[in-house]
Amino acid sequence: MAIAAGSLAVGAAVWLPCVHLLFAPSADELPGSGVSSLARAVCERQLGVWHDPQLRARELERMRSANAEWDFMARTFLVLALGNLAERDPSQRERCVEAMDAILDETVRLEAEHGHSFFLLPYAEHSPWVVQPPRSLFVDGEIALMLGARCLVANREDYRPRLRARVSTLIERMQQGPVLSGESYPDECWTFCNSVALAAIRIADVLDGSDHSVFLARWVEVARAKLVHPATGLLVSSYDLEGVPSDGPEGSTIWLVAHCLRIVDPEFARDQFERARRELCVQPLGFAYAREWPASWEGPTDIDSGVIVPGVGASASSSGFALLAAASFGDAGLLEGLLSALNLAAFPVETEGGVRYAASNQVGDAVLAYALTCGPLWEKVLEAGQ
C-alpha cells in the first residue's frame, strides 16, 4: 500500500505540472503582429452572427433576457475588435468597416427609438437621476468609443459630428460632479464607464485636433486622490456622484479601466495593471485565472461579477477582461496562462463559421475577439500623442 501511494504521489508530481501543456495555445494562436488563427476564428464567428439574422436575433435575445447591458457591450467590443482586425489585415478592411457601420447604425437607431434605458438594467427607472435630463454615461461613452474607433480605421464625415456631439455631452455631464464622473445609473458612477468615456475623448482629440488634456489629467488627479481603495491602491468600481464609494475594486472593472487609461495616462494605467495583477491573478500549474476581488475586500456577487468558482474565487468576467489587459500591456506569460485556462474551462466549439465558447456568450466572445486583436487602434492614438 505504501509503495502504491508513493507511486501515485510521484506520478502526480510529474504529471500535474504538465497538464497545462494539453490546453496551451499553439504558437499561431497567440496574438502577434498579424492575426492569429484563434483571433481570426473567433472574429469569423462574431461576423457570422451579424450576417445571419436568425442567429443574431437568437444570440441577442439570449443576452437581453439576462442583461440588456450585454447586448450593448457585445456591440462595442465587436466594433473594437473589427477595427483592430481591419488594421492588422488590410484584406479584411472593407468587410470589417461594413460590419462596424451596420452595428453602429443599428445601435444608434435603437437608442433613438427606445431611449438610453433600452440598453440598461430595469433599476435605471426606479429612482431619480441627479443630473437632468436623465442620460447614461455608459451608453454615451460606448457609442462615442465605437464612433471613434470607426473613424480611426477609415474616416466617415457623417460620423465625425456625431462623435463631437457625444464627447461634448460626456464632458458636460462628467463636470457636473466633484469627482468629474458621470452617472451610468441614478446617482451611480462606474469607473468602467468613465474610463471608456475618457478613452473616447482622447480618440476624438486625435481625430479632430481638439485638446482636452487638462480635463483628462484632472480626472486622473482626482481619481488618485478620491477613488482609490486604500488597502490595494486600485481604483474602486462604483461610487455616487459626490465620489463616495459604493464598492471596492473589482476584476470585472479594473482590467478594462487599465486598458482604457493606457491612452489617457500610460503611467497610471501601468500602475493599475500591475496592482491588479498582484491582487487578483492566480497562476497554478501553467494555468491562470483572475479573482473578482482582492483578498482585502469582497463585494456582493452581481450580474457583472458573473459566476464565482467556490474555493478558488475564479471569476469568468474578471478572467475575460484580464485577457484583454494582458494583451494590452504585453504580459505574454499571463496571456498564455489565461488562454490555457480558457481552453480547459470554457469549452471551445469549432464550427464552419469559426469558434465560439460553450461556457461563454456573445459579449464574452466579443471581449475575447478584442483581446486577441488588441493593439493597432490604441497604438494609433499613442503614436499621435508623441
User: In this model, does residue 33 exceed pLDDT 90?
Assistant: no
Q: Is residue 89 part of a domain?
A: yes
Domain-located, residue 216: yes
Q: What is the pTM of this model?
A: 0.92
Lowest mean pLDDT, pick from 80-89, 91-100, 230-239, 346-355? 346-355
Count Cβ atoms below 10 Å from residue 213 Cβ, excluding itself: 13
| DSSP H stretches of helix in 154-212 | 160-174, 191-208
Q: Does residue 114 form part of some domain?
A: yes
- Report the CATH number at residue 215: 1.50.10.10
pLDDT at 305: 63
pLDDT category of residue 23 using cuts at 50, 70 and 90: low
For residues 386 and 60, the answer to whether their CB atoms sit within 8 Å is no
* Whole-number pLDDT of residue 302: 65
Cross-strand bridge partners of residue 314: 291
- What pLDDT score does 6 carry? 38
Model pLDDT for residues 152-180, shown as the tens digit of each residue: 999 999 999 999 999 999 999 999 999 99
Q: Which amino acid is at 280?
A: L
Residues in the chain: 386
Q: What is the pLDDT of residue 310?
A: 67
| pLDDT band (50, 70, 90) for residue 99 | very high
pLDDT greater than 90 at residue 206: yes
Tally of domains in the chain: 1
* Strand partners of residue 290: 281
Provide the pLDDT for residue 13: 36
pLDDT category of residue 238 using cuts at 50, 70 and 90: very high
- Mean pLDDT, residues 69-79: 95
SS (H, E, C) 52-89: CHHHHHHHHHHHHCCCHHHHHHHHHHHHHHHHHHHHHC
Q: Are strands 238-239 and 189-190 parallel, antiparallel or unpaired?
A: antiparallel
pLDDT of residue 56: 81
- For residue 360, the model assigns a pLDDT of 86
| Residue indicated by cell numbers 480547459 | 344
Which pLDDT does position 31 carry in this prediction?
76
Domain for residue 205, yes or no?
A: yes
Domain that includes residue 180, residue range? 39-295+302-384
For residue 25, is it within any domain? no
Q: Return d(Cα 163, Cα 148) in angstroms, integer.
A: 7
Mean of the per-residue pLDDT values of the chain:
90
Angle at 183 between CA 180 and CA 187, to 5 degrees: 105
Least-confidence region, from 49-58, 115-124, 198-207, 243-252: 49-58
Angle, CA of 49, 141 and 225, to the nearest 5°: 135
Q: How far apart are CA 121 and CA 127, in angstroms?
A: 13
Cα Rg of the chain, angstroms: 21
Q: Cis peptide leading into 284, omega within 30 of 0?
A: no
- Kind and range of the H or E element at 226? helix 213-226
Confidence of residue 185 (pLDDT cuts 50, 70, 90): very high
**Contact 251/290 with Cβ under 8 angstroms?**
yes
Instruction: Decide if 30 is inside a domain.
Output: no
221-248: average pLDDT: 97
- pLDDT value of residue 386: 66
Question: Residue 144 falls within a domain, yes or no?
Answer: yes
Q: Is residue 21 part of a domain?
A: no
